[in-house]
Copies of this chain bind each other. A is one copy, B any other.
């Protein structure tokens, strides 16, 4: 059994917990929280909730610690810290800061003789893998990534911060015509506006100025001003009934040539009922890889690029070759 600890029990931590139950060789040992452990009830019976103070001893009996924190402030601090004590894995997704984060985790985990896998999930993660395979197989080509239809939590939060908004859900939607052109191998140059639209469902306070809210959303820099955005005002009941999930997905589409005029289109796509549960499932598969790599004596920071597919699977090499090759 691979002994797993989860640090942080938000949506992603719960997604990891769910994924562990689907893997017969994985065991949840404890959930660690910065809150008072007594205030937290988890979905797995018989598993203790512990304080991060326990984790900080470096003595918890874990094969891998899955760190479910935010990329802005949690992970840059937590992952190197715990990489010095445990095999760790995170879903760090602040793209510009990956080199620094990788270097910090690499240093800590090498000194400790542990494995630290960063930026794991579906993007970065499974999408990144499909980009690398495609570029390596067809170096003369171009990749496109489309996200959605799915809920962007960052954009939903941005709308919620507008005065007069009680609740909001923002869906990122790929533009069908852009998808079609890329799938046809046309290699179009696409602006931000041409690739995705944004659709917002908003519950406003009674008597709020809806036109003002709509305008504030549509003109919000970074989040909405570069997109065609649609705003729907709905009731709280409609929000709960129709927008309570966190579905997501998207496609990486690569179009390349093997010789002049001979074209190939590679597409990897995901349709996810639950973004955090799927991300959690990827983290758990890579936790298995982390435990195995470390048992073989490997250490240091890794990304999904550095890990062979077989390490993720509970099946043996013989089984994989017999059933999935």
Contacts and interface: CB of A to CB of B under 8 A. Distances in A.
Contact of A258 (B126, B259, B271, B281): B281
Interface string A119-157: 100001010111111011111100100000000000000
A232 interface: no
Number of copies of this chain that the complex holds: 2
Contacts of A128: 324-325
Contacts of A285: 136-137
Interface string A301-325: 0011111111011110110111011
Contact of A137 (B271, B281, B310): B281
Contact of A313 (B135, B257, B304): B135
Contacts of A167: none
Interface residues of A, number: 71
A264 B258 contact: no
A271 B137 CA distance: 14
Interface stretch (A68-76, A94-102, A236-244): A94-102
Contacts of A280: 258
Interface string A267-281: 111111110011011
Interface stretch (A16-24, A198-206, A220-228): A16-24
Interface in A245-288: 257-259, 262-274, 277-278, 280-282, 285, 288
Contacts of A21: 259
A243 to B, nearest CB: 16
Contacts of A312: 132-133, 136-137
Given A264-B270, A303-B325, 18 more contacts: A15-B258, A22-B259, A102-B321, A124-B325, A129-B133, A131-B324, A132-B310, A136-B309, A136-B312, A136-B314, A137-B312, A258-B273, A258-B281, A264-B277, A266-B269, A266-B270, A269-B269, A305-B317
Interface of A: 15, 18-19, 21-24, 95, 98-99, 102, 119, 124, 126, 128-133, 135-140, 143, 183, 185, 257-259, 262-274, 277-278, 280-282, 285, 288, 303-310, 312-315, 317-318, 320-322, 324-325
6 contacts: A22-B257, A129-B309, A133-B312, A266-B269, A305-B308, A305-B317
- Which 10 A/B pairs are nearest by Cβ-Cβ distance? A136-B312, A258-B277, A305-B310, A18-B259, A136-B313, A265-B271, A131-B324, A136-B285, A132-B309, A308-B308
